[in-house]
Amino acid sequence: MVENLFEYDSVSLCDNGEGLKILDQTKLPNEEVFIILQNEEDFTDAICSLKVRGAPAIGIAAAYALFVLMNNSGIMRVPDYSAEFSRIKNLLLNTRPTAVNLSYSLNRMEFRYNECLKDKSITTELINQKLRAEAELIKKEDICSNLEIAKNAITLLKPSMSILTHCNAGHLAVSRHGTALAPIYLAKSKGWNIKVYACETRPLLQGARLTSFELKRAGVDVTLLCDNMVSSLMSEGKIDAVITGCDRIARNGDTANKIGTSSIAVLAAYYKIPFYVAGPSTTIDHYSLTGDSFVIEQRSPDEVTEMWYSKRMAPKDISVYNPAFDVTKSQLISAIITEKGIFRYPYNFEI
């Protein structure tokens, strides 16, 4: 079974409900360090600094964060609860603007809270129990969704294929299994010998640090390459398909994913290689008609100029362009794979 490939989840609620245990992904691949998040600073830092990352995992972590922070607040009166709930929700909502799973999970938690308020005799203790159950359900649904994505995506693959992926959309980016990597793990469990090429994914190197780490750990044949080597690889006929994850999908199929994804889609179209996007249906933003309306997160210049170097590698005070994501136009995407099925251009996610 594909589940047996993983020793732990990257996001797990502590048994006492007073903290969230995460794998600090900024330490990988050299160290596997688990940390416990308990207060506002812990959670906001973990999300902003990418200790926890990946659109689904961010959403799950935020749902747990809302429960943990309210549970730890010690608030006993329901009238005092609402203001604090709204403040914490907005605090978490502003940590990462592009990934839609963050707002989806927080809105679900708010909906559950509002349902609780319909009971005029409800206590804050019971509200906390309901919020915990909702956060646990969000994680459980994500695990099931990942498996369904794997089952749908593997129908597009064949044994012995070579797959290119960008960034990290695997076990570390979700509750378990992955989105883009879920079919790879399912293929592995079936005895298929699929080969994966993983882009470094600059500037934060999620492909080099995370995707290559987890695929190698799972016994998958993986080769690392720099982002600017993709065209060379494709021109040699070494890639049969591209599969990436996504952080937001517009109603027309435009997709936001880690910076560099759009370039790969253009190259795949030129070389006539299928370009697939895998993600849960919760990543579809029904309020955005196209990707033009997506808010693209701009990150610190330090990630480009010095983060991975023993000495600064760029002149001081140099201007830096550092968007976290780009938008791949729907016409370049061969198929979008969710737990609900395989969708093709022109996209209609309402069915």
The domain boundary, picked from 147, 177, 199, lies at: 147
The domain boundary, picked from 147, 173, 193, lies at: 147
What is the SS3 assignment for 64? helix
Q: Report pLDDT digits (tens) over 122-178.
A: 999 999 999 999 999 999 999 999 999 999 999 999 999 999 999 999 999 999 999
Give the range of the structural domain holding residue 119, as residue numbers without chain letter: 2-147
Has residue 5 got a pLDDT over 80?
Answer: no
pLDDT at 141: 96
Q: Which is higher by pLDDT, 4 or 226?
A: 226
- Structure token pair of residue 122: 């409800």
Q: Based on the residue annotation, tell me whether 142 is a catalytic residue of this protein.
A: no
pLDDT at 7: 80
Give yes or no: residues 222 and 277 share one domain: yes
pLDDT band at 64; cut points 50, 70, 90: very high
Give yes or no: residues 143 and 161 share one domain: no
Residues 6+ apart with CB under 8 A from 268: 234, 239, 242, 274, 275, 332
CB < 8 Å & 24+ apart, contacts of 32-39: 37/61, 37/65, 37/68, 38/68, 38/72, 39/69, 39/72
Has residue 1 got a pLDDT over 90?
Answer: no
pLDDT at 200: 98
- Structure token pair of residue 347: 């996209």
pLDDT band at 98; cut points 50, 70, 90: confident
Q: Which segments of 2-75 does DSSP mark as H helices, in order?
A: 40-48, 55-72
The mean pLDDT value for 185-208 works out to 97
- Structure token pair of residue 159: 């044994």
Q: Report pLDDT digits (tens) over 108-135.
A: 999 999 999 999 999 999 999 999 999 9
Give yes or no: residues 278 and 200 share one domain: yes
Has residue 46 got a pLDDT over 90?
Answer: yes
Percent of the chain having pLDDT more than 90?
Answer: 95
Give yes or no: residues 136 and 195 share one domain: no
pLDDT band at 41; cut points 50, 70, 90: very high
Number of domains forming the structure of the chain: 2
Give yes or no: residues 334 and 190 share one domain: yes
Nearest Cα neighbor of 179 from 277, 322, 305 is 277
CB 320 within 8 A of CB 301: yes
pLDDT at 2: 58
Q: Which residues of 173-205 are buried (b: 16+ CB within 10 A; e: fewer)?
A: bbbbbbbbbbbbbbbbeeebebbbbbbbbbbbb
What is the strand order of the sheet 275-278 is part of? 221-225, 195-199, 162-165, 241-244, 275-278, 335-338, 341-343
CB 49 within 8 A of CB 26: yes
Answer positive or negative: Cα dihedral of 156, 162, 164, 169: positive
Cα–Cα dist 295/291, whole Å: 9
Q: Report pLDDT digits (tens) over 327-343.
A: 999 999 999 999 999 99
CATH of the domain at 329: 3.40.50.10470
The domain boundary, picked from 113, 129, 147, lies at: 147
The catalytic position among 42, 247, 254, 285 is 247
pLDDT at 76: 92
